[in-house]
Structures are given as C-alpha cells and as structure tokens.
A = this chain, B = another copy of it.
Amino acid sequence: MTARTQGSVRIVGAGLLGASLGHALTALGVDVILADASRSALSIAVDYGAGRREAEGDTPSIVVVAVPPDAAADVVARELAAWPAATVTDVASVKAGILAELREAGADLARYVGSHPMAGRERGGAVAARADLFLGRPWVLAAPPEAERDRRWAIEHLAVDAGAIPIVMPADEHDAAVALVSHVPQVVASALAGRLGGASPEAVGLAGQGLRDTTRIAASDPALWVQILGANADAVASILRGVRDDLDAAIAALDDPDAPGARRAIAELLARGNAGVATIPGKHGRSERFARLTVLIDDRPGELARLLTEIGELGVNMEDLRLEHSPGAPVGLAEIAVVPEAELPLATALQSRGWRIAGGAE
C-alpha cells in the first residue's frame, strides 16, 4: 500500500493517538517527525519506531496536534504560526471550542482542519500505541468554512492512510452528535453505576447482562472525561436535561402508580426507548434487527471455537456474538445474532449436532 499523504508529517504529542498515528504512517513509508514536551515520552515513541526526532531544516506538509483537549487550541495556533505552509489538524474529541479560540486569536484558518478520530484504548501513552488503532474507526473531519479545499483533502488522505473512515461534519454538528452518542451516555452510565456503591454483594450477585452493559463505560478515566465534558458542556447539559426530565416523570409516576395516567407515562417512556434504540445502526450500518439465539457451552477452552466452526460449516454468517457467564454456573451462554430467516434453521441444525439452545438474558 502506498501512502496518499505527501511530504513530512509532524506530530505534536507522542501519547496514544500521536504515537499510533506515527506507527501507521511510518509503516506506509511516510517521514514522521515527533515532538513532545516530555523528553521521556518522546524517547519512548521514537524508540518504539513511531517516527524520528525533529531536525534542522524540517518543513512538514502536515502538522497533527495530539495533545490533551485543554491545550489543543494554543498548540494549534502556535504550529500554524511556526509552519506557514503546513496544513494543521488536531485530534481532540470536542471541536467547536477550539475553532472559536483559534478564530479569536486570528489564526490562519485557511490551513486548519479540525478532526476527531474515534479511537482509543483503556491504556494511554506511547507504549500502548498501535499502528492499527484507527483501523475501521470513524474519523470526523470538521473543517472551518475558511479551510482551503486542498487542506481538507490532505487531512482526509491522512485519515484514510491511518485506516480510518473519514466523515465530514461541521464542528458544532460534530459536538452535538458526540454529546448524544458518547458524552451523555458516559454521564448517565456513571450516575447509574454510582448507585451500586452501597449495595450488598447479594444484591449485585443478581446482576445480569443488562446491568453489565448499561454500566461498562462507567469504568472510564475521570481525569480525561472531565476535560471532554467541560469542553462540550452546553451540548451535554442540554441533552442531560431531557434525560433528567424523563427520570423526573418516571419518579412521579412511580410515586403514585395507580394515579390516572401514571402507567401510561411509564409505558410511553419505555416506548420512546424502543424507538430510540431502533435508530442505532448495526453491523454494516444497517439498522435492521437480528434474531438472537442463545447456545449453552461448557466452560472449558475450545468449546466456543468448536461452536463457531460448526456455525461456519452450516454456512451461517454470524452478525454479532456475546458471551455471558452466571456466577457459579458450569456453562456459559453464547448469544449469537443472525438474520431472522437463519434463526430457526440454525437452531434446528445446532440441536441436531448436540448443542443446547437456551433463552436470552433476563
């Protein structure tokens, strides 16, 4: 594969995102120049092969600012001034505030294309970096109206070189979208998981997949999320108000469940949830619903592989897979999503091969 990206790429900030991008571009033969305020972070990234140190006479065609969100606007402004021919981007997860700061500072917005690669890992830093970090992930391009066409293309090519899927979207639209699909779910999951603090082990022992799913992202790093939520405060607060109002209505209805309209209010809340979840695109971007089949598997190595091999032999394409294991149980449950037409034939075929089919979670 040949890089679409032309010239040298300077990456400021050799953390997880910066170093991962360095690895991806280096693998394509692009000249990557790394810079970081921390000498040791820079050394690690260079030692791991994410790029080289800067040198006299460098003239990057692209600068990628991959510093913490709070520092991004200042560094972008500085880099735009330092490299008068370069296209500059950043990778912060909130975009409108940075753009406003740059505009206020009189930065050359013709050469700025904000971006947001929607990738990450639990662990941070150059040590955790991977060339494949961006593969198959959306990479939002939020250029200001002032940005030149060739500058937009340069950053789009960069995203494609990293293996990501470029998505063009204005900064404020991006921020409203991530508030809805990422930032508000984070706050809500944290508030929900927070209720588990005082619970008895017996109570949480009854937890099923529902609780695990609804609270999984509550394990995220508070320090990073304070920055993200602070940078997108208006959009997040506005959507949170809607959630809060719905909870208020549910509480009022549950305080007097036999009052006229109380059950209807709860039913409507649940029905709106049904409609909302149906809008989330599934695999391949289709929002169709799949049939789910739960197969019992003995809790020993190799059993799941054997099941999936047999599903492959039956010619069935699995759309999704989820494993669950109840405390103390000698069996696990593999929930397999398939197109609805495949459900009954697959269940029958698996049963005839000796697999046990069970019900779903809760």
Tell me the interface secondary structure of chain A in the complex. Answer: helix
Copies per assembly: 2
Complex interface: chain B residues within 8 A of A65 (CB): none
CB closest residue in chain B, given A245: B191
Interface size class of A (residues with CB under 8 A): 35 or more
**A309–B301 touching, CB < 8 Å:** no
**A135–B239 touching, CB < 8 Å:** no
**B358–A133 touching, CB < 8 Å:** yes
- What 0/1 readout, one digit per residue, does chain A (238-251) give for beta carbons within 8 Å of chain B? 01111110111011
**A244–B242 touching, CB < 8 Å:** no
Q: A82 contacts the other chain (Cβ, under 8 Å)?
A: no
Complex interface: chain B residues within 8 A of A182 (CB): 206, 208, 210-211, 362
Smallest Cβ distance from A133 to chain B, in angstroms? Answer: 4
Could you tell me the distance between the alpha carbons of A202 and B20 in the complex, rounded to whole angstroms?
26
Q: A302 contacts the other chain (Cβ, under 8 Å)?
A: yes
Given contacts A182-B211, A237-B255, 20 further A-B contacts (CB under 8 A): A120-B359, A130-B359, A133-B359, A135-B329, A140-B206, A165-B326, A181-B210, A182-B208, A188-B247, A190-B269, A193-B272, A193-B277, A196-B280, A205-B281, A230-B257, A240-B250, A247-B247, A284-B325, A318-B323, A321-B323
Q: A271 contacts the other chain (Cβ, under 8 Å)?
A: yes
Q: A278 contacts the other chain (Cβ, under 8 Å)?
A: yes
Smallest Cβ distance from A299 to chain B, in angstroms? Answer: 8
Q: A348 contacts the other chain (Cβ, under 8 Å)?
A: no
Could you tell me the distance between the alpha carbons of A284 and B216 in the complex, rounded to whole angstroms?
18
Could you tell me the distance between the alpha carbons of A273 and B320 in the complex, rounded to whole angstroms?
28
CB closest residue in chain B, given A295: B132
Smallest Cβ distance from A254 to chain B, in angstroms? Answer: 4
**Given A226-B270, A318-B304 in contact, is the A192-B184 Cβ separation under 8 Å?**
yes
**A360–B121 touching, CB < 8 Å:** yes
Q: A354 contacts the other chain (Cβ, under 8 Å)?
A: no
